[in-house]
A and B are shown apart, each in its own frame.
Chain A
Amino acid sequence: ELEHAKDMALLVARREKVTLDLLEQNMRIFDQRSNVKRLKRSLGIRG
């Protein structure tokens, strides 16, 4: 019983860690996109 409960608690902890990594990745992507847009505008790159 305890082993099963521990396995599932571990999976939940992993899931939350991956969710945190995803959020941080999304923040990184947002900043990178902002930088790309800024550079495109300064270089006059369309599309």
Chain B
Amino acid sequence: MDPSSVLDQTIQDVSNLQAEFTHILGEIRASDTQLLDQRKKYMQKDSQIHKFIRQHGSLQEHPKEQELSEKIREKMSACKNLQEQKCTMANTALYLVAKHLSRLEKNIGLLEEDGLLAP
């Protein structure tokens, strides 16, 4: 093992990192766009409830409040699932780069121990 071969090996190992990152971050963005759409929908329903309260006072219940609340909770839950997927994707990207970095740091440590690389 020498510095040149470690560098060559590392470059080979990370050759796909660009594509992986582009893909993962693209997927995160697509999911985020979906999430924003869902959020807009449940916020609109929430606004309906609050508009009714403003017009009729807080003691009167919106005729469809139960139904609206149910739908809002459903959409929030869907958003949460989407967000959990995004977290997994972000953690995957982090893991991929951390794995390569860790391997490189370990190899650098070995080269330094062998005196093949200045500390």
Please give the residue numbers on chain A whose beta carbons come within 8 Å of chain B beta carbons, in ascending order: 2-3, 5-6, 9-10, 12-13, 15-17, 19-20, 23-24, 26-27, 30, 34, 37, 40-41, 44-47
Rounded to whole angstroms, the CA-CA distance of A17 and B21 in the bound complex is 18
Q: Which chain B residues border A17 with CB–CB below 8 Å?
A: 87
Interface residues, chain B, CB within 8 Å of chain A? Answer: 14, 17, 21, 25, 28, 46, 53, 57-59, 61, 69, 72-73, 76-77, 79-80, 83-84, 86-87, 89-91, 93-94, 96-98, 100-101, 104
- Taking A9-B93, A40-B58 as given, write out 14 further A-B residue pairs in contact, using a Cβ cutoff of 8 Å, ordered by the A residue number: A3-B101, A6-B98, A6-B101, A9-B90, A12-B94, A13-B91, A16-B28, A16-B89, A16-B90, A17-B87, A19-B83, A23-B76, A23-B83, A30-B73
B12 vs chain A, min Cβ distance (A): 14
Report chain B residues within 8 Å CB of A27: 73, 76-77, 80
Which one of A5, A20, A34 lies within 8 Å of B97 (CB-CB)? A5
Contact of B69 among A12, A13, A34, A41 (CB under 8 A): A34
Indicate if the CB atoms of B94 and A6 lie closer than 8 Å: yes
Please determine whether A13 and B87 come into contact, CB atoms closer than 8 angstroms. yes
Bound together, the chains give a CA A12 to CA B53 distance in angstroms of: 39
Are B58 and A47 in contact, with the CB atoms below 8 A? Answer: yes
> Are A37 and B58 in contact (CB-based, < 8 A)?
yes
